[in-house]
Amino acid sequence: MRFRKMIYIIIPIIIIEGAIITLNKSLEKFCFGHNKKNIYNNNSKISAANDNFSYIYKKGTNENGKTNICFKFTGMDTIWSIISENDAMISINFSSDIELGTFKVVLIDPNNNITNILEQSQEGTEVYKVKKGNNRIKIVAKEAKGKLKLDITPEKDGLEIDIISTN
């Protein structure tokens, strides 16, 4: 009799636990960013025109060629569109402090070629070629938390380059 009562208690517990595990895996895959987590090393997804991201928080400014933000997010987000009438050079002064996860900033030319600007925590100033047309700067992260500062300026005055914040 006692054995039978134990079976009636244990079997439902096992079934419920199995259902909970299955439900958690399904929700993670379809609702909570499984696809965003797979973006980080996939250049074809990164170079796509659309963005795919989930922010836990994002604070700061992104205007006048300058970015100064604190964030916690997963996915990819276009933060700048750089439209140039001719091939030109831009200077990017950057500083990032990443506490968690993986993070990078990329420059995407009109042909969807990707150049890494920075990865993880980094500081520096670099000069990059922007091609005629619409170039984009995206931040890409996998469960990243940190701070980012960018300052984008054309290398020569008078060039027809528009640096437009996209968010």
Q: What pLDDT is stored for residue 166 in this prediction?
A: 78
Q: What is the mean pLDDT of residues 76-91?
A: 93
Q: Tell me, rounded to whole angstroms, the distance of Cα 156 from its chain centroid.
A: 30
Q: What is the mean pLDDT of residues 67-91?
A: 94
Q: What pLDDT is stored for residue 159 in this prediction?
A: 63
Distance CA 54, CA 121 (A): 21
Specify the CATH number for 34-165; select among 1.10.10, 1.20.120, 2.60.40, 2.60.120. Answer: 2.60.120
pLDDT at 67 over 80: yes
Q: Where are the domains of the chain?
A: 34-165
pLDDT per position as a tens digit, 8-48: 777 778 888 877 777 666 555 444 445 555 888 999 999 99
Q: What pLDDT is stored for residue 28 in this prediction?
A: 53
pLDDT at 3 over 80: no
From residue 127, give the alpha-carbon distance in Å to each of 3, 87, 124, 138: 75, 13, 10, 17
Q: What pLDDT is stored for residue 158 in this prediction?
A: 54
State in Å, rounded, how far the first CA of the chain is from the last one: 67
Distance CA 155, CA 132 (A): 15
Residues contacting 163, CB < 8 A, separation 6+? 65, 80, 81, 82, 90, 152
For tokens 């920075």, name the residue: 118
Better-scored residue on pLDDT, 60 or 7: 60
Bridge-partner residues for 123, per DSSP? 95
pLDDT per position as a tens digit, 121-156: 999 999 999 999 999 999 999 999 999 999 999 887
Q: What pLDDT is stored for residue 31 in this prediction?
A: 47
Q: What is the mean pLDDT of residues 81-90?
A: 92
Token digits for 116?
Answer: 């890494």
Distance CA 139, CA 135 (A): 14
